A = this chain, B = another copy of it.
Amino acid sequence: MKIAVLGTGEVGHTLATRLAGLGHQVTMGSRSADNPAAKEWAAANAAAHGTFADAAADAELVVNATGGLVSLAALTAAGAENLRGKVVVDVSNPLDFSEGFPPKIATPDGVSVAEQLQRAFPEARVVKTLNTMNNAVMVAPGRVPGHHNVFLSGDDADAKSTVSELLQSFGWAADQIIDLGDVTSARATEQLTGLWVRLYGVLGTGDFNFGIVR
């Protein structure tokens, strides 16, 4: 599949590398066409890079791996016409560390980033997922042994199926994937990030995940 990964940080890097390794044709998108991190990644992975718009234009599926506080700007730069009808996998979190620790979950009036993106780009098919864990665990769930989960939120059932298949290609078992419902349920997982940050401090490792036990 032709996939755009928007974002050149650790999360974007990890997802882009995993997707390229699975044989997808990946373009890493960033604010500028000559982003050094994107250029370096593309050279190392025999893949492409470009602006947000370049990456999204060619893609069948778009991964938003930008920071949650700048995601709306990044997708605006990608362009509504380049997102139309496409699955947008949103893995971002709106953590604001500007006032130090603990960070705030900075969502205006409690509305999640995923909802903001879906409202701004009504013809895109936004699916929130993977935002409740470290990027290493996202693409290799076996790093954490035992029963733990990944969540899906989105309005489009077909888009969620596509993303579920993508997750399974990463190594997630079908019974680890919990569909929380429509895009408003992304609030629940974005708000979970605060607990993740605390647990990271307590446990001293990012190799953990949340399991729903019943």
List chain A positions with a Cβ less than 8 A from chain B: 102, 104-105, 110, 144-148, 178-181, 184-185, 187-189, 191-192, 194-195, 197-199, 201-203, 205, 207-214
Q: Point out the residues of chain B lying under 8 angstroms from A191, CB to CB.
A: 105, 191-192, 194-195
Count of identical protomers in the assembly? 2
Q: Top 5 closest A-B pairs, CB basis?
A: A208-B214, A188-B195, A191-B191, A211-B211, A188-B194
Would you call B184 and A188 a contact (CB within 8 A)?
no
| Contact B199 A212, beta carbon cutoff 8 Å | yes
- Given A211-B210, A213-B210, A214-B144: A178 and B192 interface contact (C-beta under 8 Å): no
Most chain B CB inside 10 Å of its own CB: which residue of A202, A208, A209, A213: A213
